[in-house]
Amino acid sequence: MTFIFYLILFTHLFIMKKLLLLSGLLFFLSCTVTVNRKKTVANLQETFIPNGKLFTALFQQQAAEYKALCLQSYNMATIRLQQYVKSTDKPLVIVTDVDETVLDNSPFAVHQGLMGKEYEPEAWYEWTSLAKADTVPGAPSFLKFAASKGVQVFYITNREERERAATIKNLSNYDLPNADDKHLLLKSTTSGKEGRRQQVANDYEIAMFIGDNLADFTDLFDKKTPQRRSNIVSSLQAQWGDKFIVIPNTNYGDWEGALFNYNYKLSSHERDSIYRTILKSY
């Protein structure tokens, strides 16, 4: 009996020891998971914007849906140009934006995103100086079609004077029409494009505007709140797909700036906090 008693006692103590070790291990793993989860959340807050830029660049580079949307827009532009009836004796022109409308700068977004960075002027100048941006799907064929009909193209862009030569070279690489100083209107003192649009309208009849940003079409959208921008879009419903041809751009634009009141001095963390307060969940 004594032997059996000690055997049972020993077995009980052995099992208890194993249970304690297992409990300790589970507690350690639980703490590790909690710490890692906290680190993941912290990393998310630090890299929300760069990672977001990478994801939207991935869409721009790889999604057939993006290509379809661009082709849809330029197909509509072709139809509208064919249907257009001149109302003046002025030469007919098209006014288009450049970046993410004619030229695809997604490699720049990827370059910055991989380093955990957003837009930086010097990095941007370095990219544009290479004159290696590809074209947005549908842009070359449409612009060349317009030129074949005797319609000139004016490029109104917020690239700067230092980027003129490289921009013309980049456009010329694809034999795009009117890739010259006369037809390239760069940013001078303001990012607003209304003055440059009026400059073109003084001597030409503008058949349509093409852009990825609402400010490419009218100054009604300049520095407006998200709700005001949405309301103006509704009020101009008949213009979309007619006078105004929109190219998709989820990577950047005034749509994003409007969310933080165009205060581009905010840090990524500060913008991240704003975005998380306005995102809808359930």
29 within a domain of the structure (yes/no): no
The single-letter DSSP state of residue 131 is T
203 within a domain of the structure (yes/no): yes
Contact 248, 66 (CB under 8 A): yes
Global pTM exceeds 0.85: no
Cα–Cα nearest to 245, from 137, 133, 97: 97
Instruction: Determine the average pLDDT of the residues in 11-27.
Output: 48
Using CA atoms, how far residue 20 sits from 11, 14, 16, 23, 172, in Å, is 14, 10, 6, 5, 74
Contact 257, 224 (CB under 8 A): no
The pLDDT score that the predictor gives to residue 179 is 98
Of the ranges 42-56, 67-81, 91-105, 212-226, which one carries the lowest mean pLDDT score?
42-56
33 within a domain of the structure (yes/no): no
Kindly state the tokens that stand for 252: 């950047």
Using CA atoms, how far residue 262 sits from 208, 221, 256, in Å, is 27, 13, 8
The CA distance from 119 to 253, in Å, is: 11
- Tokens 């921009």 correspond to 167
At 52, the pLDDT band (50, 70, 90 cuts) reads confident
For the chain, how many structural domains are there in total?
1
At 50, the pLDDT band (50, 70, 90 cuts) reads low
The CA distance from 46 to 38, in Å, is: 12
- Tokens 């009141």 correspond to 261
pLDDT digits (tens, 9 = 90+) for 153-188: 999 999 999 999 999 999 999 999 999 999 999 998
36 within a domain of the structure (yes/no): no
Return the CATH number at 226. 3.40.50.1000
7 within a domain of the structure (yes/no): no
Kindly state the tokens that stand for 51: 């990672």
Cα–Cα nearest to 117, from 213, 46, 58: 46
At 46, the pLDDT band (50, 70, 90 cuts) reads low
pLDDT digits (tens, 9 = 90+) for 232-249: 999 999 999 999 999 999
6 within a domain of the structure (yes/no): no
The CA distance from 13 to 19, in Å, is: 10
pLDDT digits (tens, 9 = 90+) for 208-218: 999 999 999 99
CA dihedral 224, 226, 228, 229 (to 10 degrees): 80
- Indicate if the pLDDT at residue 23 is higher than 60: no
32 within a domain of the structure (yes/no): no
The pLDDT score that the predictor gives to residue 268 is 84
Contact 80, 242 (CB under 8 A): yes
Instruction: Determine the average pLDDT of the residues in 262-278.
Output: 91
Kindly state the tokens that stand for 246: 């929109």
- Indicate if the pLDDT at residue 231 is higher than 90: yes
Structural domain harbouring 180: 41-278
- Indicate if the pLDDT at residue 40 is higher than 70: no
At 17, the pLDDT band (50, 70, 90 cuts) reads low
The CA distance from 74 to 241, in Å, is: 10
11 within a domain of the structure (yes/no): no
